Amino acid sequence: MLKFIVKSYSFRKILILCVIFSGIFFFSSYLFDKLWSSSSAIPIINVNDVYDPPMNYDNFTRVNLKMVSSNLLAIEGNKKFRINEHDSGFEYYDTVVIFFPDVSFDKVNKIFLQFEDSIGPDSIYIVTAKSGEPKIFYNQIFYSSIIVFKINEFTDDTEQFRINSEELARPELLTNNDTLISKVFNEFNSNIDNLGLAECGTNCKILREICNRFEVPCRFVNLQGGDVDQTGYADHIGYPLHVVCEIYSSRLKKWYVVDPSFGFRFKNIGSSEFLNAVEISNRYVFRGVDEIVQDSILLTKRTLVGKDYFKYYENVTFTKLEWKNKYTIKLVSVFYGKFIYFHYLYSINFSPVKNGFYYLGLKTIMYAFIMILFINSVIFVLVKRLFSVKKPVQR
């Protein structure tokens, strides 16, 4: 049977079609990437995707909310909590009744809860409003003093959501790690002639090594004037690439920029809060350079760069952890070669060619179109062969 199929006319035709369409498939992929000409990163839609605190500093309170019946709201906390009007002790889970409007159009449900290690109470205001249909209401979170992490969904693995105090930084560092940050700067400045400072990438590596010694969270941030991963100078792009560091301050509860090449930190005039790369990029474009001042914290200013040098870089790129599955990585690199899955891009001048989602979507449509043509070609060969078969002579 197998031998008959292999030697059949239809099988040979389909085999030829497979070879032809395989060539079309991979040539089209090559041509698509050639025409795209720019590497595509994941666009940052929610800045929290890259500005979450480091794991050992993430002591922030969060809750998940889920309606378990028509008027009963369940709350899951990442720390133990208690609802103020309840007599129960501190737990990770509790429920509260939601009341509906009777005469008025809407009703505000005020939920006050206390986390086990918090000084004061937190609150969630849920507004229940009437719809045009009888007995149908809309629930909306009007205000919350804590992070609402998920709506109508609880975590599958609660241990992944709950805070493990054993993995956190020491209590005093959770509150304020400025002393360690100052030690980093002092170490850098006191050894500046022996550090081997060079270009911005090397300078950032040196600063990060010192930060690691003092257990200060530090990461690289790429500033780019052209497309993602584009190197070299081009007149129409301007300055193509600069690398800075961001360190995490537990006092400010945020990451902020330290540029070891020029020794700068940045802050708004009249403010003591230092700015992260996205904040600086936004301020320079939309609010003008006179609102930001430099804090020269390191002794490495090698050029008279003006305070507005950020204006040369339209993209801010963060590197996230790479995927661990090597087969997925290989698959993506073969079929979506221009997609950089570990680069998260924030841009003040976003174009579709820098957007990895556009790239994935359009190339997938191209692949699907070729596959539809192939499947229809195979069906055509089989149907044509079926109609060409002679009917047996009736006797």
Q: What is the mean pLDDT of residues 364-383?
A: 91
Residue that wins the pLDDT comparison between 224 and 92: 92
Query: Residues 80, 179: one domain?
Result: no
Rounded (10°) angle between helices 9-36 and 356-388 = 160
Residue that wins the pLDDT comparison between 39 and 362: 362
Q: What is the mean pLDDT of residues 297-311?
A: 70
Q: Coil, strand or helix: which one is 66? A: strand
Q: Is 358 left (phi over 0), alpha (psi -120 to 50) or beta?
A: alpha
Burial of 255 (0-12, 13-18, 19+ CB in 10 A): buried
Query: Residues 189, 126: one domain?
Result: no
Q: Which pLDDT score is estimated for 62?
A: 94
In a domain, 395, yes or no: no
Binned at pLDDT 50, 70 and 90, residue 232 comes out as very low
In a domain, 131, yes or no: yes
Strands (E), 309-387: 315-319, 339-347
In a domain, 46, yes or no: yes
Alpha helices (H) in 304-355, listed in sequence order: 326-335
Contact 261, 200 (CB under 8 A): yes
Q: Which candidate, 48, 113, 43, places its Cα nearest to that of 253? A: 48
CA angle 366, 370, 376 (to 5 degrees): 145
Domain count, the chain: 3
Query: Residues 65, 44: one domain?
Result: no
For 4-13, 266-275, 350-359, which range has the lowest pLDDT when averaged over its residues? 4-13
Query: Residues 80, 226: one domain?
Result: no
Q: What is the mean pLDDT of residues 11-26?
A: 87
Query: Residues 208, 236: one domain?
Result: yes
Percent of the chain at pLDDT > 90 equals 47
Residues 94-131 have pLDDT tens digits of 999 999 888 788 889 999 999 998 888 999 999 989 88
Query: Residues 196, 306: one domain?
Result: yes
Q: Which pLDDT score is estimated for 367?
A: 95
Residue 36 corresponds to which amino acid?
Answer: W
In a domain, 188, yes or no: yes
Domain boundary among 132, 162, 192: 162
List phi, psi (to 5°) of 113. -135, 155
Domain boundary among 162, 178, 202: 162
pLDDT at 89 over 60: yes
Residue that wins the pLDDT comparison between 310 and 214: 214
Query: Residues 282, 340: one domain?
Result: yes
- d(CA 120, CA 268) in angstroms, rounded, equals 30
In a domain, 218, yes or no: yes
Query: Residues 303, 379: one domain?
Result: no
pLDDT at 41 over 70: yes
Query: Residues 264, 319: one domain?
Result: yes
Q: Which pLDDT score is estimated for 231?
A: 47
Domain boundary among 162, 182, 208: 162
Binned at pLDDT 50, 70 and 90, residue 389 comes out as low
- d(CA 297, CA 134) in angstroms, rounded, equals 64
Count the alpha carbons within 13 Å of 27 in the hemisphere toward its beta carbon: 6
In a domain, 29, yes or no: yes
Q: How many CB atoms lie within 10 A of CB 68?
A: 11
Q: Which pLDDT score is estimated for 237?
A: 47
In a domain, 292, yes or no: yes
Binned at pLDDT 50, 70 and 90, residue 348 comes out as confident
Residue that wins the pLDDT comparison between 274 and 8: 274
Q: Domain containing 223: what range? A: 37-59+168-354
pTM of the shown model: 0.79
Contact 182, 190 (CB under 8 A): no
- d(CA 62, CA 50) in angstroms, rounded, equals 17
In a domain, 223, yes or no: yes
Query: Residues 202, 313: one domain?
Result: yes
pLDDT at 1 over 50: no
Query: Residues 299, 177: one domain?
Result: yes
Query: Residues 65, 193: one domain?
Result: no
Contact 117, 90 (CB under 8 A): no
- d(CA 249, CA 264) in angstroms, rounded, equals 16
